[in-house]
Amino acid sequence: TIQHQSKENVFLAWHCGNAPQVLAAKNIPVCLREHSILGPTLGPEKSEGTAEFPLKPGTVTFTRIVEYDGQFKMLITKGKVIPSEDKLRGSWSWVEVPDLDGLYRTLIEEGFTHHASMIHGDIASSLIEFCRFTGIEPIVV
C-alpha cells in the first residue's frame, strides 16, 4: 500500500482495473484501457480491457485470510473511501482508517500480505461472527 503524501491515516487502495463499474464514483467517466503494467510489455492489443476509475466514497471493510501451520486467521478492518481529484491508472481510492501505523504494524506482525478484499459497507460484525463459527481467529484493527 501507498501512504497519502499529505493526509494522515490515508492509504491508496489500488488494483490494475478489475473493479466492477457499479463501484465507480459518480460523474467520473469509466475508461477502458490497456493494462497499466502489462501493456508496455505485451502491447495494447494483448492487454486491453482494464476499467479505470476512482471508487465511490463511503464506508468500506477490508479483509484478508491467511493460514500458517493449519491455523487460519482473518484481518478485519474498516475505513472510509474519501473523494479525490487525482488521476490514477486502474481502479482505486484513497481510504482513511483510524490508525494506519497500527494497521501496517498488524500486517507485518501477523503475517498478512498486502493484497486484501475491500467491500463497500460495514460488515465487520458479520465477519467476526463467521470467524467464530468456523474457528478462524479474527484480527480486528
Give the pLDDT confidence score for residue 26 in this predicted structure: 92
What's the grid cell of residue 66?
491467511
Return the pLDDT at 1: 65
> Which pLDDT tens digit goes with each residue over 12-61?
998 887 888 899 999 888 888 777 778 888 888 888 888 889 999 999 99
Per DSSP, the residues of 69-135 read TTEEEEEEEEEEEE------SSEEEEEE-S-HHHHHHHHHHHT--S--EEEES--HHHHHHHHHHHT
| Contact indicator for 1, 13 with CB cutoff of 8 Å | yes
- pLDDT for position 80: 98
CA distance 23 to 89: 15
User: For residue range 47-104, what is the model confidence (pLDDT) as tens digits?
Assistant: 888 888 999 999 999 999 999 999 999 999 999 999 998 888 888 999 999 999 999 9
